[in-house]
Structure 1
Amino acid sequence: MDHKVNVVSRSQWGAAAPRQKMTLKASAQRVVIHHTALPRCSGRKECMDRLVSIQRRHMTQNGFDDIGYNFIVGGDGTVYEGRGWGVVGAHTKGNNHDSLGIAFMGNFNNDTPSTESISSVKKLLRAGVTQGFLQREFVLFGHRDLGNTECPGEKLYAALPQLRIAP
């Protein structure tokens, strides 16, 4: 089984530098799954352009120091580095100090997450555990479990059990 996950780095997708970065005090205990609630993107160029605009919106309109998520995954299964491992995100108010935020690109109120994206996130989670960024016994949440929101959308929320990894 291939556990390697290819992550497109911030410099590869054209991320702006963060205003500041806070490091998690320990490995993350929780993973919070989100959706971008935007139309899905197809192809790396379109997804990278979308990421640049999400980061810009998070930094200008939301006042975040960077894109809110630690990682973002496209429908083709490509994983993009957001804030990355070991960095406090800005994705779930009041819950960022011990968690990892992963967003699926698209709106999953109607769309179903692709098998490629689910598979990539599972590999990413396994890599996080192996590398010590994520506790072996981490707890998986949908954003709606921790906040008053529809996020990550009906269809992605229903798919959360598929993201559980065996310890």
Structure 2
Amino acid sequence: MSRFLCCLLSITITGTMSELVLKSRADWKARPPTLVEPMTNPVPYVIIHHSYIPPACSSTPECVAAMQRMQDMHQITNGWNDIGYHFAVGGDGNAYEGRGWSAVGAHAPRYNNISIGICVIGDWQAELPPPQQLEAVHKLIACGVEMGMIQEDYKLLGHRQVRDTECPGDRLFQEVTTWPHFHPMPRYRPKEEEKGSSGVDDNKLFFFKGKS
């Protein structure tokens, strides 16, 4: 619990932002991971995703259900160690702990052990998330920098820049390109041997192709 208090305090003390509510795994009744691989902090990248499915949530009970649904898809259906993202952010304006700051993720091939993956819950192909959801993403990133979990000179990427996917949706990606630290690296093009591959286990290669 202390790390969540630290997050709140680090943001409040700076005087630059209001408090971020960061819900722990216990808050959304997460199952334990089957394996945790440690990740070295601070990391040089932050990668933004959308969930596509589950859809957007506007209340805390809805967002808790979305977190549980994502963990079911990732851990039970896909056989991964845990929910793939380090954190998710809901339309209720809260952030939700996934793998946390210091565990290798399962959200972006070749970047899983050097990035924080943040899922903006919903389908953001045609419209933007509500202001409180976007604000919470900014607060979460600032929190990570303040805590020494994300490098001060981090590079911000959309999932589509590192994987053949529409994620995080056209409209959200357009918004992300205007944020501080966005890095305009070319959109990822899969190698021939990767095309059509369903991939392997959780923390290196396998991620949804297409929408998510």
The answer to whether the Cα contact below 8 Å between 2:63 and 2:91 also exists between their aligned partners in 1 is no
Separation (CA, whole Å) in 1 of partners of 2:50 and 2:124: 7
Instruction: Give aligned-pair identity as a percent.
Output: 37
Q: RMSD of the alignment, in Å?
A: 1.3
Q: Which residue of 2 aligns with 1:146?
A: 162
Q: Structure 1, residues 18-61: CA drift from partner, whole Å, max 9, x if none?
A: 11111112311100100000221121111101111110110122
Separation (CA, whole Å) in 2 of partners of 1:11 and 1:121: 21
> What amino acid sits opposite 2:23 in the alignment?
V
Q: Which shows bigger deviation, 8-17 or 58-67?
A: 58-67
Cα pair distance change 1:18/1:77, threshold 3 Å: same
Q: Which residue of 2 aligns with 1:105?
A: 121
Q: Which residue of 1 aligns with 2:36?
A: 21
Q: Which residue of 2 aligns with 1:159?
A: 175
Q: Which residue of 1 aligns with 2:108?
A: 92
Cα offset, 1:2, TM superposition: 2.3
Cα offset, 1:118, TM superposition: 1.4
- Which structure's relative contact order is higher, taking Cα pairs within 8 Å and 6+ residues apart? 1
The answer to whether the Cα contact below 8 Å between 1:28 and 1:86 also exists between their aligned partners in 2 is no
Query: Aligned to 2:39, what secondary structure does the other structure show?
Result: coil
Separation (CA, whole Å) in 2 of partners of 1:139 and 1:112: 22
Q: Which residue, out of 46, 54, 57, partners 1:41?
A: 57
Cα offset, 1:164, TM superposition: 2.2
Q: Structure 1, residues 79-100: CA drift from partner, whole Å, max 9, x if none?
A: 1111111111100122101000
> What amino acid sits opposite 1:42 in the alignment?
S
Q: TM-score, normalised by structure 1?
A: 0.93
Query: Aligned to 1:138, what secondary structure does the other structure show?
Result: strand
Cα offset, 1:154, TM superposition: 0.5
Q: Which runs of 5+ in 1 are unaligned?
A: none
Runs of 4+ in 1 over 2 A off after TM superposition: 1-4, 161-165
Query: Aligned to 1:17, what secondary structure does the other structure show?
Result: coil
- 1:136 and 2:161 are equivalent in the alignment: no
Q: Which residue, out of 130, 137, 146, partners 1:121?
A: 137
Cα offset, 1:3, TM superposition: 4.8
